Amino acid sequence: MAIQWFPGHMTSARKKAAETMARIDVVIEVLDARVPEAGSNPLIRELREHRQRPCLKVLNKTDLADPVVTQAWLDYFNAQEGVHAVALSCKKAGDAVKIPKLCLPLAPQRGTTLKPLRIMIMGIPNVGKSTLMNTLLKRRVAAVGDEPAITKNQQSFNLDDHTTLIDTPGLMWPKIAHESDGMMLAASHSIGRNAIIDDEVAAFLGDIVLARYPELVQARYKVNPEGMDGVGLIEAIAQLRGLRIRGKEFDFEKAAMTLLQDFRTGVLGRISLESPDTRKAMLLQVDVPSYNPAHSRS
């Protein structure tokens, strides 16, 4: 199932972001630490590179992600020119307060009362941008919820007399190139439910956690993960929880949502859906038809 999700307001949000980019100094791109590359909007990179703006990549929700994989992503991003990456939880004031200070070295000519540091906060839906704004400003200025695309308009606030923050709506891109990226974004709840089939997303998620975190599956659901696939895991959850439709057949949909919610809330454990290595392997596999002459002749 190829997932595409680009609500109408995002077209105007993209245009507004391009206009604002000309007037800011640093981009903060908030990412879900569990899917940091799949959830990195290529439009954001295009906009900031066009204006030659440095970027602080904030790997949020780090408390839900595999810490070993998160460190691998930090190493990967910090090797990129014009990029600095950190991993933290935007909900924690002690973590969030560090972020503006980390932006200063990226724009050393700014950050005074005469030349305030102008920071633009960007990212895809439901990664924690609004939470970051509220935590930094110590008041509720942005709506927060467990559904993607709540924020629909830009907002500007003075953090202090030498720092300005600009919050932007969650911004997707018109076409998700890789099917697995769409599935990962759906599993992490960055895509609206109207664009996905929960059962299929849960089966995809089940395949990943069974392959990479079988011990967490066994601990949570008391099943033997050996030889099991994602669909089998969902069926096992339905049986374990006694989830049935009118007391008869198992309620596959409700069991699928149980698995998704256990992952999204961290109940299942600290799980990352991609690493730099799995990303590289996926791209190599996808690219084979484009450069392998044997495929073009077959």
Among 10-19, 36-45, 52-61, name the one with the lowest average pLDDT.
Answer: 10-19
If asked whether residues 277 and 215 sit together in one domain, one would say: yes
Would you say 59 and 73 are in contact if contact means Cβ atoms under 8 Å apart? yes
Contacts of 79 (CB under 8 A, 6+ apart): none
As a whole number of angstroms, the distance between CA 66 and CA 85 comes to 16
Identify which of 74-88, 147-161, 243-257 has the greatest average pLDDT.
74-88
Which CATH number covers residue 108?
3.40.50.300
In 3D space, the residue among 81, 184, 97, 172 whose CA is nearest the CA of residue 134 turns out to be 97
Global pTM exceeds 0.75: yes
Q: State whether 100 and 230 are in the same domain.
A: no
State pLDDT tens for residues 200-253: 999 999 999 999 999 999 999 999 999 999 999 999 999 999 888 876 788 999
Residue 244 has what pLDDT? 87
Q: How far is it, in rounded angstroms, from Cα 226 to Cα 64?
A: 24
Residues 22 and 151 placed together within one structural domain of the fold:
yes
The 10s digit of each residue's pLDDT in 22-41 is 999 999 999 999 999 999 99
Q: Is residue 296 part of a domain?
A: no
Domain that holds residue 133: 11-167
Do 112 and 230 sit in the same domain of this protein? no
Give the per-residue pLDDT at 7.
57
Domain CATH code at residue 226: 1.10.1580.10
Residue 183 lies inside a defined structural domain of this protein: no
pLDDT at 264: 96
Domains of the chain: total: 2
pLDDT above 60 for 6: no
Q: Is residue 58 part of a domain?
A: yes
34 and 162 within one domain = yes
Closest to 120 in 3D by CA, of 100, 137, 138 = 100
Lowest mean pLDDT among 70-79, 124-133, 207-216: 124-133
One domain, residues 77 and 215: no
